[in-house]
Structure 1
Amino acid sequence: MDNWNRTLAKEIAKGIVKTGIEGPFDTVVKSTAYDYPSIGCSCWEGNRADELLRAIPGGEEFIGRSYIDIKASGELPMLKELLRSDAGQQAQLDQLSRDCLQYVEVLQQVPTLDDTRCLIYAGMWCPTSTWVVKRFLANRYMHVDLRSLEALYKLFKNYYWIAADVGEMYRAGYANRARITYEYVAGIDLTTPYGVPAYGEAGNGR
């Protein structure tokens, strides 16, 4: 089970990076809620951002500083360069892999969320909030087939913005994220490495 969980975590991390749904490696944006930077390919903030920066040579220069301070000092390009460096990318992949393992362990607590592709799909939403995703699915498993990737896609497309309490202005963005994530997960090859049937060949909307 531990090895399989790590395999699922690897696929979730790969999907987040390849789709860019959270942003590229050199992402540096102001937090939507507070005056601190969200950084990297998973938009880490606060203590998680500091943890990442400590793992990158030269990163400690930016720990504990506000987005406005970094921008006003003209150091945004330096931080971006640090994040997209080889060391910066590796540190992000390492941290994302640890995060994704936690995502898998949390999502496995949701009844009926046991289809490989559906778990990967849900995991790719967890950077928005692992606990919101878990609650969102746990509250709906009796009414929605969580073993159907198409059903999961429609659920996130139509309702996740409400569960995340982000307001109407994010509705279209979340719908776009739902589509990009669905197209990616439906198209990945899980047959060759893991023996999982190609999407659409396992019945039940899988």
Structure 2
Amino acid sequence: MSDWNKALATEIAKGLINTGIEGGYDSVAKSTAYDYPSIGVSQWEGNRANELLRAIPGGAEYADRTYIDIKASGELPMLKELLRSEAGQQAQLEQLSRDCLQYVEVLQQVPTLDDTRCIIYAGMWCPTSTWVVKRFLANRYMHVDLRSLEALYKLFKNYYWVAADVGEMYRAGYANRAEATYQYVAGIDLTTPYGVPAYGYAGNGR
């Protein structure tokens, strides 16, 4: 586990939190696939949600419960308060950092995906499905310059909804996510920690 990977994971985590593209600290929604809640800054579900809840003092009482049960009992506000508490935020940061480190390790298996900004950009999509993102990029690296943030942005904006098999209804939402992610990654200062030129001052659209 290199310091470089940890640094990239940190940048991905910061991006997810700062953009809120997955959710805020106190996000609680009904899973689109199951009856369980999706919670926090990465919309964790199932076992991952339970793992997070058990890491927060007082959170275990919400583990293994359905969204409908929590809502019907009037406990949704209490769960949200728990998630945005100092302990809740710390637990989420720790879990998200572990997740992001896995994202980096998986993305490094994609040929030509070695530009710092592009790894961060792709990593910010991994909560949707790490393996879908990897396959999406690995299937296209011969035809798309994965060292170009601009090219990566256009690729996700136009085609990721197809690869994720989510249907036309999610197309606009994914396009908006692609735009928000692009604006964030293009704007962050990577010069000091990584020696990466400001966006637009290097080759390949970087």
Q: TM-score range by the shorter chain?
A: over 0.9
Q: Structure 1: which 4+ aligned runs deviate by more than 6 Å? A: none
Structure 2 unaligned spans of 5+: none
Counterpart in the other structure of 2:170: 170
Counterpart in the other structure of 1:203: 203
Identity within the alignment, %:
86
Report the AA paired with residue 188 of structure 2.
I
Counterpart in the other structure of 2:151: 151
Deviations 1:99-131 (A, max 9, x none): 000000000000000000000000000000000
Counterpart in the other structure of 1:59: 59
How far did 1:204 drift?
Answer: 1.1
Report the AA paired with residue 103 of structure 1.
Y
Counterpart in the other structure of 2:27: 27
Report the AA paired with residue 67 of structure 1.
Y
How far did 1:203 drift?
Answer: 1.1
Q: How large is the Cα RMSD of the aligned pairs? A: 0.6
Distance 2:42 2:168 in 1: 23
Q: Which secondary structure does the structure 2 equivalent of 1:41 belong to?
A: helix
Counterpart in the other structure of 1:38: 38
State how many pairs are aligned: 206
Distance 2:147 2:170 in 1: 26
Distance 1:124 1:148 in 2: 16
> Structure 2-normalised TM-score?
0.99
Deviations 1:159-204 (A, max 9, x none): 0001111111110000000000000000000002221111111111
How far did 1:142 drift?
Answer: 0.4
How far did 1:26 drift?
Answer: 0.3
Distance 1:28 1:153 in 2: 28
Counterpart in the other structure of 2:88: 88
Distance 1:34 1:60 in 2: 20
> Structure 1-normalised TM-score?
0.99
Structure 1 unaligned spans of 5+: none
Counterpart in the other structure of 1:97: 97
Would you say 1:139 and 2:139 are equivalent positions? yes
Report the AA paired with residue 195 of structure 1.
G
How far did 1:93 drift?
Answer: 0.3
Counterpart in the other structure of 1:18: 18
How far did 1:40 drift?
Answer: 0.3
